[in-house]
Structure 1
Amino acid sequence: MASVERDETREHRIETEIIVDAEDKEDRAMGWYYYLDDMIDFPFMAKWKKKSRKTSTIEEKPVEVLGMAAEDDCLRDMYVDVAYIGGKEDDIHTAKLSDIEPIDVDEDTQEAIADWLYWLGRGYKF
């Protein structure tokens, strides 16, 4: 059951811009991948909300979101590459886009991430 109320504007954008020509799961995943890659203005600052393995509490870590992860990594979910603030240059991690809370981003970036969260909240699958 969907946890997010239906939004006709988002539904229209998803159908006509993101998954318009998709014939299968991979096409839908790549539609989302390229839409997000085109619309999100990388890099940007964010909080990475991730569950601690030891305590199951949610930790918030400040990160810089560098870009979309490799296409092959995004066939089941959308992932981005992130670097910890103050971390080593080569210390790059992959995070689910849904675990990222953007900080002070432009309208297109906000809308694209909100579209992805809407898709997930509605329970849609590739």
Structure 2
Amino acid sequence: MGCGTSVPEFDENEGHYTKVSKPNPWAYTKPITRTELMKMRDEFWDTAPHYGGHKEIWDALRAAAEAELSLAQSIVDSAGIIVASADMTTCYDERGAKYELPKYVLSEPTNLIHDD
């Protein structure tokens, strides 16, 4: 997601986060190029609807993952997505379907290398 910062707000009554935030820094298992990262992202989004849930929610999650935080928040809110982890790695739709997103679709790893 984008470069902005946000403090996640947890709603104790509802048991989920009300604000999305940028994922914590992470590293892929080995150094990875931008081309490899984009290929992994494309493969994930192409196959995501097969993991269950609803295509329109997967589409909204992709749009949110690729947007700046403020826009991502608006997308999540308007799609009725329940954010179980502030970094959007675990979400639910209003019907209770679970959506798990790998960090590589939400942010770049710390060991990203330039393509040669």
Q: TM-score range by the shorter chain?
A: 0.3 to 0.5
Q: Which structure shows the higher strand fraction?
A: 1
Q: Which structure would you say has the larger RCO, counting Cα contacts within 8 Å and 6 or more residues apart? A: 2
| TM-score scaled by length of structure 1 | 0.31
| TM-score scaled by length of structure 2 | 0.32
